[in-house]
Structure 1
Amino acid sequence: MRRRPRHRGSAARGALAAAAALALVLVLGACSSASPDPRGGGPAFGTLASSCRPDRVPALRQAGVTVAMIDVQWAAAEPEAGAPDLGYLADVRERVATCTRAGMRVVLGLGLDNGPDWVLERPGAAFVDQFGATSPLREPDLVFDGAVRDAAAGYLRDLAGIVGLGDVAAIRLSAELGYPGPSGATTTQFWAFGDVPQGGPGLAEGVEPSPMPGWRPSEPDWQGAPMTAEQVDGWYAWYTRSLAGSVTWVSDTLRSVGFTGDVHVPLAGRGVLPQDRAAAVAGGLDGRADPEGALGYGLDYPSIFRTFAEHDARLRSLSPPSRLVVDYTGLDDDTATRARAASPGQETCRPGDTPESLAEAGLDRAAAQRWTIALARSVGLPVVAENPGPPGPTTGGSRFSDSEAEQLVAAARYARDCGIDTFFLAFEDQLFEPGSGIDVPAYARVIAGQPA
């Protein structure tokens, strides 16, 4: 499973990211998604990158694992335009059926960030920054480009028609939410400077073009007049609003092809703190006040979560109802290990946590998990979570993280402390890989609330 490198704590997301697409993971009790553990009212427990292999599923079920997150990749599912790979999709269908027959709820990851070449070869299909550079990973632009959205909608129709989504409890949209990551520029990169978002042809229906076409962050003037703080603020609000809108588009498209379960959006780190956003806007978005690299990713969570909350309310009003769910992807990340070292420890959720109370206590820059979960709760969004996993270029782990064995214990405790609906262990393979530090019996003890 490909996971985007995360921005967390004092470290920026330092590698190139797989982005613009979106992602989510929560659990639905009354709405046909993964339910909390019926044995004790705590979280349900699952695995990421689930294989649903017949030789593994019985041991996992015996251990108490009730949720499986299965990855699908758009590039593999539809290597040629209009020609889905029937063998690949049949394998996905069988994996869904295997886990479902075993009594596990299935969350299906769409892999929309991993677009096929025939999509990416279209002019304007990839993101372009303010310097004219194309994102090296060439993530398909589902934020602005109408042709890319049309292609993605065809892929979702294939999933519904060939794999079938009736046994899928929830859908995880893709890699972690955000525009592409840094690609070597010396300042923050913003990814809305292709022809389409700048007002050219091909803009997706209902999407706004740049409110100030031609203006680039850090430039003091626009159309011969000095930029005002209000204009800069309006531009950044458009940038983040467009990103959030791409999530609601995917969710609505899934509904149109017959999927009525929850939609999970994976989110990394704490995003842009309000005081950093204000300072960045005051500086004309010239790269200042971006301590964790979240600014260019567009991760202004306070505004994005408000959009999500409105969409969640709309999903709940439908028949059958569903939900938009935040999937926090760094439970027990390196910000948590540092916050845990304080006296007393400041890393875990506590009753009464709100964004305001954490900011007043100076804890908005402590453990990212505590801040982001409190922010989601403040607007009524449900939350699921996962640990970072072992250090590596495709995980969220770093050399400052706990070991995988330590993450297993600590992240499960945080899931309980924070009232998370479902905890997903990263990754299933780790449970079966000799030398990983964890195994199925250890996970079973953690699920049962016993020492690992």
Structure 2
Amino acid sequence: MSAPDPTRRGVRAIVRALAPAVALVVLVSCTSAEEPTPPGSPLTFGTLLSMPERFDDEARAGVRAAMLELSWRDVEPEEGDFDEERLEDFARGVADARAAGRTVTLGLGLHYTPDWVGDLEDGHYVDASGRRSEAANFVFSAAVRGAAEDYVRRVARTVDLSSIAAVRLTSGGSPEVLYPGGGRFWAFNTGALSGDGLPASMLPNPFPQWRPGGGGRLTPEQARAWVDWYVGGLVDVVRWQRELLAELRFDGDVHVLTPGSGVRPRRLERALRSNLEDDLLGTGAVWQLLYDRLPADGRTVAFITSVADSSGGDDECAPGDAAVALTDPRADGWSATRWITRVATENGLRVSGENPGYGLPEELERSYRDGRDSGMMAAAFRQVASCGLEGLYWAHDAQLWNGTADWEQFAALVRGAQQGNPGGGRG
């Protein structure tokens, strides 16, 4: 299992704007690879980057799901040169987790991208000023996707995908479904503008002469078409991964990792009238557009990576939320959990979530360590219960056992939630 990604702090800058503060964390479904979770199934709880030495202890406490993650950079440090021993070790870890009674969610680790991928055609995103991103360009480069496909196919030769309950879907260059941050739009590399070297499923930039902040002005209608195309690039990356996994005979759940509130409808309308002047829109975090274009097939899970992130005062979902239109001003102040749940409901999608991981701004770090009812852990379980999430994974497993978070509190809350008492269970 790879170490946490050193680029994660750059992602944190994005998610602070999104939520106001979010981190990479994971909730996985309680399903097996053979059967989706039917309505009313028991809640599933797990940990992110689950530690093998805790497989049995956590299983006995009812923490049944484990998330295990690969690193593309470690598995294929040079093009075509795969670390077979590392893959075999990972496959043994999957088997050990299952032997302990855990279901396994697979993190493919595409965002741990090898350096050589950047040398491929259009290997990096390019913004309107010509600046290249550090992240690999999975949206607009067929060459990058082709290299990633070779890696995933090699993983599937060693890791039995029928033993995997769910796979985490990201945008490849980011650990969540996002473009790079920095207040820029990343759609101006050669292929994005001309169509040369684009994935076959992608169309080129519909207004290649336009540049944010210059190069003409888009009408609101043109701006809407451009945003639909831009967010559609993230949709296309998700679909591409789904199709590849289906080809490899994976039929479990797919978790679409989305942080924070993103650009909600009223904010989007303002951006459309202002020539797309919005420093968050460049990440593509427009969840109402993204989830509208993903299939409600019983396998697709809207994955909230920001449960109890302090947005919206960590408010809970209410019985009447489904009757509140997405464009209703009342929804603007909702927490990220409540908002993404509402978007998922609108689109007939299952929904799950995860708390912000440790190492964020000081306010969230205090909340993370706070074992009271006002702390992150208790708030997360309340949001899971009120919003009808399928469960919760704690980020990260190591923090439950090194004293940063309280393992006994987590185990008690798991017991309480499984017994229908989300606020208790210590006894």
TM norm structure 2: 0.87
- Name the counterpart of 2:350: 382
Structure 2 residue 251 is matched with structure 1 residue 260: yes
What is the aligned partner in structure 2 of residue 412 from structure 1? 381
What's the counterpart of residue 152 of structure 1?
A: 148
Distance 2:17 2:178 in 1: 17
- Deviation of the 1:402 alpha carbon: 4.6
Are the equivalent residues in 2 in contact too, given 1:114–1:140 (CA < 8 A)? no
Shift of 1:76: 1.0
- 2:47 aligned with 1:50: no
Match in the other structure for 2:124: 126
Alignment match, 1:324:
300
Answer whether contact 1:63 1:444 (CA < 8 A) is retained: yes
Match of 1:171 among 156, 167, 174: 167
Q: 1:286: which partner in 2?
A: 277
Q: SS at 1:161's partner residue?
A: helix
Q: What's the C-alpha RMSD, in Å, of the aligned pairs?
A: 2.7
Partner residue in 2 for 1:319: none
Could you list the per-position Cα deviations for residues 307-351 of structure 1 after superposition, in whole angstroms to 9, with x for gaps in the alignment?
11xx343xx5xxxxxx11111011110214xx25xxxxxx00111
Partners of 2:166 and 2:15 in 1: how far apart? 26
Q: Find out whether 1:307 has 2:293 as its counterpart.
A: yes
Q: Deviations over 1:142-183 (max 9, x none)?
A: 11100111111111101110122121111012411110011x
Structure-2 separation of matches of 1:397 and 1:70: 28
Distance 2:136 2:18 in 1: 29
Unaligned segments of structure 1, at least 5 residues? 183-187, 317-322, 341-346
What is the CA distance between 1:214 and its match in structure 2? Answer: 2.6
| Cα pair distance change 1:13/1:367, threshold 3 Å | closer
Shift in Å at residue 361 of structure 1? 5.9
Q: Distance in 1 between matches of 2:269 and 2:145?
A: 32
> What is the aligned partner in structure 2 of residue 446 from structure 1?
413
CA contact (8 A) 1:74 1:111 kept: yes
TM-aligned CA deviation for residue 8 of structure 1:
5.1
SS at match of 1:76: helix
CA contact (8 A) 1:326 1:381 kept: yes
CA offsets, 1:271-324, max 9 Å, x none? 11111111111111133xx5xx2x11111111111111xx343xx5xxxxxx11
Name the residue aligned to 2:311.
335
Query: 1:34–1:67: 8 Å Cα contact kept in structure 2?
Result: no
Contact preservation (8 Å) 1:36, 1:43: no
Deviation for aligned residue 1:200: 4.7
- State, as a whole percentage, how many aligned pairs show the same letter: 34
Query: What stretches of structure 2 of length at least 5 have no aligned partner?
Result: 417-423
Q: Which residue of 2 aligns with 1:398?
A: 364
| Structure 1: distance between partners of 2:210 and 2:378 | 49
Give the superposition deviation at 1:42.
4.4
1:98 CA drift (Å): 0.5
Distance 1:404 1:254, change over 3 A: farther
Q: What's the CA shift for 1:30?
A: 7.8
Question: Is 1:268–1:330's contact at 8 Å kept on the other side of the alignment?
Answer: yes
Q: Secondary structure at the match of 2:340?
A: helix
Task: From the superposition, tell whether residues 119 and 274 of structure 1 become closer, same or farther in structure 2 (CA, over 3 Å).
Answer: same
Q: Secondary structure at the match of 2:138?
A: coil
Q: Which amino acid aligns with 1:7?
A: V
Could you tell me how far 1:359 is from its partner in structure 2?
5.5
Instruction: Between 383-392 and 247-256, report the one with greater CA deviation.
Output: 383-392
Q: Give, in whole Å, the separation in 2 of the partners of 1:277 and 1:361.
A: 13
**Which residue number in structure 1 is paired with residue 94 of structure 2?**
96
Report the alpha carbon displacement of residue 91 of structure 1 after superposing the two structures with TM: 1.5
- Report the residue type matching 2:364 in the other structure: S
- Matches of residues 197-208 of structure 1 in structure 2 within 5 Å? 197-208=192-203
Q: Cα deviations across residues 407-450 of structure 1 (Å, max 9, x unaligned)?
A: 222212211221111210111101211x31312x3222111113
Hey, what's the Cα distance between the residues in 1 that align with 2:388 and 2:186? 35
Q: Which amino acid aligns with 1:382?
A: R
- Does the 8 Å contact 1:203/1:209 carry over to 2? yes
Q: Is the 8 A contact 1:157 1:257 kept in 2?
A: yes
Kept after mapping to 1: 8 A contact 2:184/2:282: yes
Residue 84 of structure 1 and its aligned partner are, at CA, apart by: 1.2
Aligned length: 404
Q: How far apart are residue 10 of structure 1 and its match?
A: 7.9
Q: Contact 1:25–1:325 (CA<8 Å) still a contact in 2?
A: no
Task: Mark the CA change 1:8 to 1:153 in structure 2 (over 3 Å): closer, same or farther.
Answer: same
User: Among 271, 282, 286, which residue is 1:296 paired with?
Assistant: 282
Residue among 7, 11, 34 paired with 2:15:
7
Which segment is superposed worse, 260-269 or 398-407? 398-407
User: Given residue 102 of structure 2, which amino acid in structure 1 is its aligned partner?
Assistant: M
1:343 is aligned to none
Q: What SS does the corresponding residue of 1:49 show, helix, strand or coil?
A: coil
Alpha-carbon distance between aligned partners in 2 of 1:139 and 1:385, rounded to the nearest angstrom: 25
Query: Which of 208, 212, 225 pairs up with 1:213?
Result: 208
